[in-house]
Amino acid sequence: MEKSHKILRVGHRGAKGYAPENTLASFRKALEQRVEIFELDVRLCRSGELVVLHDDTVERTTDGSGAAADLTLAQLKKLDAGHGEKIPTLEEVLELTAGKCGVNIELKGEATEKPVAGIIARSVAEGVWTYGHFLVSSFDHEKLRQIRELDPRIRIAPLVVEIPKDFLDIARGLRAWSVHVAKENLNQENVQDFQRAGFKVFAYTANSASEIGRLKTLGVDGIVSDYPDRI
C-alpha cells in the first residue's frame, strides 16, 4: 500500500523530458506541471556569474565547446542550448519563477557557495521568496558545510549515489533538511531510518511508472523526475 503523506514532485533540471535541460523553457514547463520544487545546477563562468549548467563543459547541452569556467557570460549567451534556448543565469531563473515553487540548487564547480548564499539572501530580502523556498544540495559535502557557515538559515541536502555507513552522522553533522539518494539504493528500512532521524528523503531520478510506484510505496518525501507530471 502506498503511503498517504504528500510526496513532493521535483522537476529534474526543470522538466528535461519535455524541454532542453536547465533552460527557461524547461523551468516554464515544470511550472506548468505544477511541481512543488524544481532542481537545477549552478557553476561560475569566467566573468563571475552563476550560470545554470550541469556539465563542466558545454559540448553535451549546446552547440559550443569549451569549459564553462573558461567562457564569459557573453560567450555562453551566444550558444544554442536546444531549440534556440540560451544558458540562463540563476538570477534569470529566479526572476522567471518569482516564488511560484521551491528551487533545489545543486552546487557544481568551484567557489559557488558564497555567491549562491548571497543570491538566496538577497532574494529573501526582496520579499518574494522565503528561505523555505530554497534547498541547496551537493555531492561535495564540504560545500554544504560552507553554506551552513555562510547562512545557517539555508536548508541543505547531501547527495549520494550509494549510502555510506556513516551517512546519518554526516546528515546530522550538516544539520541537513533532507537527504538525496539514488533511487536504486533506497529501501523500506533506510527510508524509515532517515525519516525517524528527522530527515526528508528525496529519490532521484525516477521516470518510469514502475520506478515511481516503488518509491511511493517506500514512502519517500520527494521524487526527482525528468517527467514530473508522472509523479
Q: Which amino acid is at 53?
A: L
The catalytically annotated residue of 5, 12, 133, 141 is 12
Residues linked to residue 67 through DSSP beta bridges, in sequence order: 57
Which residue is associated with the grid cell 518509491?
215
Please indicate whether residue 180 is annotated as part of the active site: no
Q: In the chain, which ranges are continuous DSSP H helix?
A: 24-32, 73-77, 90-97, 113-125, 141-150, 167-174, 188-196, 209-218
Residue 52 in grid coordinates: 545554470
Instruction: Give the Cα separation of 197 and 227 in Å (integer).
Output: 30
Whole-number pLDDT of residue 5 = 81
70 occurs within a structural domain: no
Mean pLDDT by 10 residues, the chain (231 residues): 74 98 98 98 98 98 98 98 98 96 97 98 96 98 98 98 98 98 98 98 98 98 98 97
155 occurs within a structural domain: yes
65 occurs within a structural domain: no
Question: Can you spell out the DSSP letters for 101-115?
Answer: SEEEEEE-SSS-HHH
Whole-number pLDDT of residue 2 = 41
Please give the residue range of the domain that contains residue 187: 8-42+99-230
Whole-number pLDDT of residue 1 = 32
27 occurs within a structural domain: yes
CB atoms within 10 A of CB 168: 17
Whole-number pLDDT of residue 4 = 57
Please indicate whether residue 54 is annotated as part of the active site: yes
Whole-number pLDDT of residue 211 = 98
Whole-number pLDDT of residue 46 = 98
Query: For the domain that residue 129 is a member of, what is the CATH number?
Result: 3.20.20.190
Whole-number pLDDT of residue 74 = 98
178 occurs within a structural domain: yes
156 occurs within a structural domain: yes
- DSSP-derived 3-state class of residue 42: strand
Please state whether the peptide bond connecting residue 205 to the residue before it is cis, i.e. omega within 30 degrees of 0. yes
Q: How many domains does the chain have?
A: 1
Provide the CA 228 distance to its chain's centre, in angstroms. 13
Instruction: Give the Cα separation of 205 and 71 in Å (integer).
Output: 29
The catalytically annotated residue of 5, 54, 133, 180 is 54
